[in-house]
Structure 1
Amino acid sequence: MKVVLASCAALPEGDGDEDALIDVLKRDGVDVRWQPWGSPVEADLVVLRATWDYTERLDDFLAWCDTVPALANPVSVVRWNTDKSYLVELAARGLAVVPTAVVEPGEEPELPVGEFVVKPAIGAGSRGAARFTDHAAARAHFEALGVKTLIQPYQSSVDAHGETALVFFAGEYSHSFHKGPMLAQGLAESESGLYVEEKLRGIEPAQEQRDLADQVLDVAAELLSLDRKDFLYARVDVVSGTDGEPLLLELELTEPTLGFKFTSEDAASRMSTAIRRTASR
């Protein structure tokens, strides 16, 4: 069985998080290798992992995804998930989502009172995201971005408690890790410039967070006419709202860091099993 982990030219072998996964796949008899996206690829399964420059070339990236016979997650999922406007769709289905407004280029943004976040609807690694209270500065940032943008009230709980990332393989819960505040002062971009450096550690999620993550996967699968087990991997990022209840911040189905460094080898074994089952379909 041949499996390719898709990366990008700036990080041809990822950022090291998949090292444990590669070891386990090889142990399980899989011929696994890295390959930057964009060129023809032959494999039983291509798994999107570190394709983090796609935001500048989304049309090219999606066109390449269309050429890959066996892609995980599937290209229909990638098309939907690379535009964070999906948050509005999930909220419309009754899920607890951080309030999100979508603003197209040329539109006048309606900015909330208090602290809020402006970020590109198509983006990765928190690039282009910024916190504001000053409306003039926010409008200047919005104009400088020049793309479809999301505006969300900043959840102040993130400063104290960060985010919880819940990871699933083939629709089943695997593990979680904690992400420190991403938009605080002093955070540096990675050497590749593709993402903001994160402070991560393993964590045990609350039951309310698990419940919300399960609901999110079920609704997303329904929207996409899939079964949740069709998501080879999923990462559900949640934060606490003002009332302490969990809110969905992002549903990552395209190329998220999965936090293998911050959990046991069992997680890599679970993903190896999911990869081998998906590749053998």
Structure 2
Amino acid sequence: MITPRIALVTTRAARGLDDDMEPLVDALTQAGAQVAVVDWDDATLDWAAFELAVLRSPWDYTQRTDEFLAWLDRASALTRMLNPPDVLRWNADKHYLADLDRAGVAIVPSRFVDVGDDAAAAVDAFLGDFPTFADIVVKPCIGAGSRDAQRHARDSRAAMLAHVERLLAAGREVLLQPYLARVDEAGETALMHFDGRFSHAIRKGPLLRRGNDPTRALFAPEHITPRTPGADELELARRALAAIPFAGPLAYARVDLIRDVDGAPVLLELELAEPSLFFAHGEASAARFADALLAQTRQPR
């Protein structure tokens, strides 16, 4: 029996910060795989030496997007990449939310400000469209871990506009969303799926505080606890995964939900690239994920 060789892809800046890495290495090793933890930008690596490369924590890609996508093309020509490159490209840019919205998935209301748009007009139109919300969230369309995201009071238009213009000036397109205040009490629900099957869920406490500057770290600190999702959350997660415009099921997916003003779940983000999977909060979840990855090594490329 051939021992599958699996690369778990990270970056130097994330070494020691990925809490999922050690339990996943242990689970894969116990399942019979040969595992290497590697940096995506290590030019000395021969990606053809691996049957599988799994994105785990290449968390600097949002600041090096062009370089990262060029690497993705090169590496995926030599080994099987999970998730597949077309999925990763689609999911890396939050414009994917518009695709899911058109497919009938309930999402947090979202508007986009693209490079070249009139930022002031876009902000004013958004405030006019959502007059009852006290706070507005501004975040980059390509971003992770709440980096460069900020919650603004609606009467702080100048600060909000400055944030949008700063991102646009850096060539980064912008997502505007109303801040759904139920998250302050209920938090977010993140539902992990492996091979299309629900594994476990966690509660993530609110991250964006009014008046706080955007984090400059790789990711904002999080308060995580286990959570049993509601039937309505499981159903929305199922619908969101079914609406992904690529063949599935995917080896891994995280569906992040919050509740709207009426208490119904809505999609905040669909994490298909490099999500934290919170193995510590799901019994045997690392082993389930390892089994899903090993099954991929037995599939033809």
Q: Scaled by the length of structure 2, what TM-score is found?
A: 0.87
Residues 151-190 of structure 1 mapped to structure 2, 5 A cutoff: 151-184=176-209
Say what the alpha-carbon RMSD is for the aligned residues.
Answer: 1.7
Question: Which residue pairs with 1:16 in the alignment?
Answer: 19
Q: Is the 8 A contact 1:26 1:32 kept in 2?
A: yes
Cα distance in 1, alignment partners of residues 108 and 268 from structure 2: 6
Question: Which residue pairs with 1:246 in the alignment?
Answer: 265
Question: Which residue pairs with 1:144 in the alignment?
Answer: 166
Q: Is the 8 A contact 1:12 1:36 kept in 2?
A: no
Task: Report sequence identity in percent.
Answer: 39
Cα distance in 1, alignment partners of residues 16 and 190 from structure 2: 23
Cα distance in 1, alignment partners of residues 160 and 211 from structure 2: 20
Q: Scaled by the length of structure 1, what TM-score is found?
A: 0.93
Residues 195-206 of structure 1 mapped to structure 2, 5 A cutoff: 195-206=219-230
CA, structure 1 residues 145+238, in 2 after alignment: closer, same or farther (shift >3 Å)?
same
Aligned partner letter, 2:275: P
Paired residue secondary structure (2:38): strand
Residues 16-55 of structure 1 mapped to structure 2, 5 A cutoff: 16-38=19-41, 39=43, 40=45, 41=47, 42-55=49-62
Deviation string 1:214-236 (CA, Å, 9 cap, x unpaired) is 0000011xx12x02x2x111000
Question: Which residue pairs with 1:123 in the alignment?
Answer: 143
Q: Shift of residue 9 of structure 1?
A: 1.6
CA, structure 1 residues 188+118, in 2 after alignment: closer, same or farther (shift >3 Å)?
closer
Aligned partner letter, 1:92: R
1:135 aligns with 2:154: no
Residues 99-110 of structure 1 mapped to structure 2, 5 A cutoff: 99-108=109-118, 109=122, 110=125
Q: Shift of residue 116 of structure 1?
A: 1.1
Unaligned runs of 5+ in 2: none
Number of aligned residues: 274
Q: Shift of residue 185 of structure 1?
A: 5.8
CA, structure 1 residues 188+107, in 2 after alignment: closer, same or farther (shift >3 Å)?
closer
Question: Which residue pairs with 2:8 in the alignment?
Answer: 5
Aligned partner letter, 1:116: I
Q: Is the 8 A contact 1:12 1:35 kept in 2?
A: no
Which structure would you say has the larger Rg?
Answer: 2
Cα distance in 1, alignment partners of residues 291 and 213 from structure 2: 35
Question: Which residue pairs with 2:71 in the alignment?
Answer: 64
Q: Shift of residue 18 of structure 1?
A: 2.5
Question: Which residue pairs with 2:233 in the alignment?
Answer: 209
CA, structure 1 residues 126+62, in 2 after alignment: closer, same or farther (shift >3 Å)?
same
Q: Shift of residue 45 of structure 1?
A: 0.3
CA, structure 1 residues 272+62, in 2 after alignment: closer, same or farther (shift >3 Å)?
same
Q: Shift of residue 125 of structure 1?
A: 0.6
Q: Shift of residue 262 of structure 1?
A: 1.5
Question: Which residue pairs with 1:111 in the alignment?
Answer: 126
Cα distance in 2, alignment partners of residues 189 and 173 from structure 1: 32
Cα distance in 1, alignment partners of residues 204 and 212 from structure 2: 13
Q: Is the 8 A contact 1:162 1:180 kept in 2?
A: yes
Q: Shift of residue 12 of structure 1?
A: 3.3
1:92 aligns with 2:85: no
Q: Shift of residue 167 of structure 1?
A: 0.2
